[in-house]
Structure 1
Amino acid sequence: MAFRVLPVTAFAQNCTLFWCEKTKEAAVIDPGGEVDRILEAAQADGLKITKIWVTHGHLDHVGGVAELQKKTKAIIEGPHEADRYWVENLSGQARMFGFPQSGDFQPDRWLSHGETVTLGEETLHVIHCPGHTPGHVVFYDEKARWAQVGDVLFSGSIGRTDFPGGSYEALIESIRGRLFTLGDDIQFVPGHGPMSTFAEERRSNPFVGEIG
């Protein structure tokens, strides 16, 4: 596998171009906007975008999904169906955050905990991690020891839980019970900000640190 992180929108949201090095098939994880820039990055690496993977339904993560799907005919996978409220309320989100109106979309496949998504010769695990939103999922590459965690966990922080459907208790359990148990060596791309590892967050994150 290979990947490139492309911060997009005024929220500097980490959209990730993820691809199979053998087949050059690519997935775009959380295309929040700036679709032409995403397409240019894929073209520069000789990639064909065949999948769009969505961690959760907040607009800064999905604002470009409809446009990207229209331009690539890629299959949309995710998030968990518990985020249907957010996916079906994009116009309301745009008004809330002061974003331009984005096109509506429906996933080709809602994802559930324990399922997998495939791309060329790559297979990633789907981990349902509610808390920031009820239907948030994480994409985990066991072979590469890599994950895209969206707004569940950040370098030195955790996701907000004050939006509709959020739960601080559920978020902490998702991080400690479903992410940290995967192993300290995993590097992750958060929804915003720099990459980190689960070891570093267990050691120093003031919200979920366990080592001290």
Structure 2
Amino acid sequence: MLSVHNLTKEYKDSNFKVMIPEMHFKMGSIIGLLGRNGAGKTTILEMIAGLIVPDEGQIFINNSKQSFSYVGYMEDDPTLFENLTCFELIKYQSMLVERPLKTNQINDLLNKYGLEEQAHRRTSNLSRGMRQRISFILTLLHNPNIILLDEPFTGLDPTNMADMKKHLRKLRDDNKIILLSTHIIQFAADLCDEILFIDDGSIIHSEKKSSGVTFHEDQLKKKFFEKLS
């Protein structure tokens, strides 16, 4: 269980405030933060990840105060060690999180995410979509229970988008909580069990999927723009 209690973060230089009331997210679910650019989605994720300290409020994971060991975060535009190859980067990161991987395990991960041909290519030479995929691997190396993804579909081609959806559904089935931000209604409708509409730093509406019923993209889009108008 991920619980958020009245989180507040104010940016006085821009007169922008993010305020999130008390909310609870259960294990085995995908929650979408749906909003336009600049709505506050990234700030919400970074507070939960521990990268931004809220001015007020608390975050609990299974009734204990937030711990990075439970959380994996992938930023929108990933920062990588540009001089390392994909193989070297995974090996290095696995040692940092004290879960060192063997050569065959690293190769299996690269194959799983369609990066086998990039194994010995420096990350500085990767396309945006490839950077997203290698970052996703790094995010999961310490086996987090809470997975935070900021615009995870950026730069992915249709095949890799379909693969990413498959991986996210598998993580949900493995009883993980996934919070992902997006401004693309189609992805939110297709993937999420719950969708939070974010505007001007606040949750203005939430939609929960009924058992066995998927979100209808057109209806979701209509409601989204009604709430933002």
Q: Do they superpose with TM above 0.5? A: no
Name the TM-score class by shorter chain: 0.3 to 0.5
> Normalising by structure 2, what TM-score?
0.33
Comparing both structures, which one devotes a greater share of its residues to helix? Answer: 2
TM-score scaled by length of structure 1: 0.35
Greater radius of gyration (CA) = 2
